[in-house]
């Protein structure tokens, strides 16, 4: 689960955006400004006609901005100082001067400059606030935090300043300090649901889950109709392993009514995480109805369907994507696999071929084509597809095993079959089906003691597969180990179904 994001205090960033808009309005093109306001002088001539520019406070200010944008704070300071000398009442000049003094490392002088703006704004806090917003717009969060901390010293109950500090600490990923500011906000304004929500999010990111759940519950008490708050609570409870609490929160979210496909996707994932599989499937279906063009949503839904064997939905959803031209090779493969699982063999063959038209190197498509051709009795085509899979991926253990098992079942080239299955076991030594294949190959070749050894290993790896046990029983009897055969039969539970290990080993 992706952790919920902090809700930024809109005032801070709206102010920052407003500041950017002010720059755009006043400096749309410094070069054009010079053409209109100081005939004969261009922005490029600032370096060579400094004295003429300095005869105007506004021209000096614009030249300072030009140097500032060019990353030359020392030159910018020189022009802003001249502009300030010609127009001591210009707050914006002093603010830019303060920022560039900070950029150049003159922190004390910058602080004094911000203080001198105090009479223009009524308090030095306002000057520092504007300076902080300038720093935010430049991505200089540490400098902005410094300014807000100075403001907070003189105005300890100023909620906007605390909000700004909390948000900036989150932007810096200093979550421990952010936690302290959000906690302070809840003390300054105990009725702020947003403050408790953000505090809960920060604490969950830190790993303080009990406190985070308590904060989120308080946010919900203050605003019970927020599905977003309930969703955040669900994530916290999921992390804590509180499945009953997750289900309770999910029920509230559904009652409130999620908005948009993304919300339903998140609900689906949460339902799946607590074992509510049918509910998860329903949420995926709703999400796709809302936003059938969402590639991430579609792939997530198809993966879910394959994991929980909802092959009909996988077939239908992937077919819809293919019809709309949004199906890549993986989605086409999912469609083919679902068709095969539903017993639509001929359609599955065509679908697997469509996968290979989209991606000629799609190894799994060759493998499953080989399986289908084998079931149809097209042994030659089956072997061709399986060998192609091995050629493309020498680590394709399933293909080695299937090809080898085909030879064992057909009684052909048993030596090659053993080599192929041994290769599969080298790749995946803990696979019970592979061990069964090798044991059965030894049995077919008349090597009964070796067959017993390998089939006993297969039973150790998967004692629930009755067909492996049947193979072992046959091997015991051929090897003359009747007592072991009787022990094996005595251990069987009446009515235990015999699984198709031939298919299991191939898949």
Note the pLDDT tens digit of each residue in 135-182: 787 788 888 898 899 899 989 999 999 999 999 999 999 999 999 999
CA pair distance 152, 154, nearest whole angstrom = 5
Query: Residue 444: inside a domain, yes or no?
Result: no
Q: Which residue, chain included where needed, has tokens 């539903």?
A: 342
- Global pTM reads 0.57
* Residue 15 CB coordination number (10 Å): 19
Task: Quote the domain boundaries for residue 125.
Answer: 1-173
CA pair distance 451, 443, nearest whole angstrom = 5
* pLDDT class of 118 with cuts at 50, 70, 90: low
Q: Are 94 and 113 in contact (CB under 8 A)?
A: yes
- Judged by DSSP in three states, 327 sits in coil
Question: What per-residue confidence (pLDDT) applies to 113?
Answer: 78
Question: What per-residue confidence (pLDDT) applies to 26?
Answer: 40
Query: Residue 463: inside a domain, yes or no?
Result: no
Query: Residue 84: inside a domain, yes or no?
Result: yes
Residue range 320-327: average pLDDT?
88
Picking from 450, 476, 453, 389, the residue whose alpha carbon sits closest to that of residue 424 is: 389
CA pair distance 165, 172, nearest whole angstrom = 10
Question: What per-residue confidence (pLDDT) applies to 57?
Answer: 81
Question: What per-residue confidence (pLDDT) applies to 147?
Answer: 86
* pLDDT class of 504 with cuts at 50, 70, 90: very low
Query: Residue 57: inside a domain, yes or no?
Result: yes
Long-range CB contact pairs, 19-22, < 8 A, 24+? 19/130, 19/133, 19/134, 19/137, 20/137
Residue range 390-400: average pLDDT?
96
Work out how many domains the chain is built from and give that number.
1
**% pLDDT > 70, the chain:** 83
CA pair distance 318, 302, nearest whole angstrom = 8
- Judged by DSSP in three states, 337 sits in helix
Picking from 119, 123, 143, the residue whose alpha carbon sits closest to that of residue 131 is: 143
In the predicted structure, residue 51 carries a pLDDT above the cut 60: no
Residue range 309-321: average pLDDT?
94
Residue range 337-352: average pLDDT?
95
Residue range 100-125: average pLDDT?
74
Read off the pLDDT of residues 430-443 as tens digits, 9 standing for 90 and up: 999 999 999 999 99
* pLDDT class of 225 with cuts at 50, 70, 90: confident
Question: What per-residue confidence (pLDDT) applies to 1?
Answer: 36
Q: What are 325's two structure tokens?
A: 């031209």
In the predicted structure, residue 352 carries a pLDDT above the cut 50: yes
Query: Residue 69: inside a domain, yes or no?
Result: yes
* pLDDT class of 40 with cuts at 50, 70, 90: very low
Q: Is the dihedral of CA 94, 99, 103, 105 positive or negative?
A: positive
CA pair distance 17, 23, nearest whole angstrom = 10
End-to-end alpha-carbon separation of the chain, Å?
31
* pLDDT class of 386 with cuts at 50, 70, 90: very high
Question: What per-residue confidence (pLDDT) applies to 6?
Answer: 47
Question: What per-residue confidence (pLDDT) applies to 14?
Answer: 35
Query: Residue 5: inside a domain, yes or no?
Result: yes
Residue range 34-60: average pLDDT?
55
CA pair distance 367, 155, nearest whole angstrom = 71
What is the CATH number for 60? Answer: 1.25.40.10
Q: Which residue, chain included where needed, has tokens 């030095």?
A: 124
Sorted by sequence, the CB contacts under 8 Å of residue 8 that are 6+ apart come out as 167
Query: Residue 158: inside a domain, yes or no?
Result: yes
- Which DSSP string corresponds to 241-282? T-HHHHHHHHHHHHHH---SHHHHHHHHHHHHHTT-HHHHHH
Read off the pLDDT of residues 198-224 as tens digits, 9 standing for 90 and up: 999 999 999 999 999 999 999 999 998
In the predicted structure, residue 310 carries a pLDDT above the cut 80: yes
Higher pLDDT, 11 or 444: 444
Q: What are 292's two structure tokens?
A: 């059938």
Distances (CA, A) of 71 to 65, 100, 420: 10, 10, 66
Q: Is the dihedral of CA 402, 405, 411, 413 positive or negative?
A: positive
Query: Residue 63: inside a domain, yes or no?
Result: yes
Q: Are 324 and 312 in contact (CB under 8 A)?
A: no
How many residues are given for the chain? 507
Q: What are 25's two structure tokens?
A: 């309005």
Residue range 355-380: average pLDDT?
95
Q: What are 462's two structure tokens?
A: 């998967």
**% pLDDT > 90, the chain:** 49
């Amino acid at each position: 689960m992706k952790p919920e994001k902090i809700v930024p205090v809109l005032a801070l960033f709206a102010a920052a955006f407003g500041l950017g808009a002010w720059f755009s309005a006043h400096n749309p093109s410094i070069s054009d400004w010079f053409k209109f306001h100081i005939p004969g002088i261009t922005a490029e001539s600032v370096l060579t006609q400094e004295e003429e520019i300095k005869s105007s406070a506004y021209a000096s200010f614009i030249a300072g901005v030009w140097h500032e944008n060019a990353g030359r704070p020392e030159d910018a300071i020189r022009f802003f100082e001249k502009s300030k000398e010609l127009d001591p009442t210009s707050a914006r000049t002093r603010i830019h001067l303060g920022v560039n003094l900070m950029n150049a490392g003159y922190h004390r002088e910058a602080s004094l400059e911000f203080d001198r703006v105090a009479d223009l704004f009524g308090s030095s806090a306002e000057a520092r606030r504007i300076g902080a917003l300038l720093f935010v717009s430049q991505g200089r969060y540490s400098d902005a935090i410094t300014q807000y901390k100075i403001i907070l010293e003189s105005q300890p109950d100023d909620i906007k300043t605390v909000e700004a500090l909390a948000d900036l600490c989150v932007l810096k990923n200093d979550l421990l300090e952010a936690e302290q500011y959000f906690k302070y906000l809840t003390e300054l304004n105990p009725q702020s649901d947003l403050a408790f929500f953000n505090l809960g999010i920060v604490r969950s990111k830190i790993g303080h889950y009990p406190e985070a759940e308590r904060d989120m519950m308080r946010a919900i008490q203050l605003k019970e109709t927020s599905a977003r708050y309930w969703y955040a609570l669900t994530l916290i409870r999921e992390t804590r392993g509180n499945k009953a609490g997750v289900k309770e929160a999910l029920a509230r979210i559904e009652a409130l009514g999620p908005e948009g496909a993304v919300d339903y996707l998140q609900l689906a994932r949460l339902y799946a995480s607590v074992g509510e599989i049918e509910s998860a499937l329903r949420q995926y279906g709703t999400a796709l109805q809302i936003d059938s063009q969402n590639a991430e949503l579609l792939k997530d839904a198809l993966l879910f369907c394959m994991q929980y064997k909802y092959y009909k939905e996988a077939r239908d959803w992937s077919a819809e994507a293919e019809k709309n031209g949004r199906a890549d090779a993986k989605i086409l493969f999912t469609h083919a696999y679902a068709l095969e699982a539903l017993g639509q063999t001929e359609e599955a063959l065509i679908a697997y071929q469509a996968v290979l038209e989209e991606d000629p190197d799609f190894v799994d498509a060759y493998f499953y084509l080989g399986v289908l051709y084998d079931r149809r009795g097209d042994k030659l085509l089956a072997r061709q597809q399986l060998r192609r899979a091995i050629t493309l991926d020498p680590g394709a253990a399933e293909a080695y095993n299937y090809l080898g098992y085909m030879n064992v079942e057909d009684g052909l080239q048993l030596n090659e079959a053993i080599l192929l299955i041994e290769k599969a076991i080298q790749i995946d030594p803990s696979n019970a089906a592979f061990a069964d294949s090798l044991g059965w190959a030894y049995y077919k070749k008349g090597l009964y003691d070796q067959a017993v050894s390998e089939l006993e290993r297969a039973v150790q790896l998967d004692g629930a597969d009755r067909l492996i046990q049947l193979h072992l029983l046959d091997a015991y009897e051929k090897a003359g180990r009747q007592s072991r055969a009787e022990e094996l039969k005595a251990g069987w539970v009446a009515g235990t179904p015999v699984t198709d290990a031939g298919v299991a080993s191939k898949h």
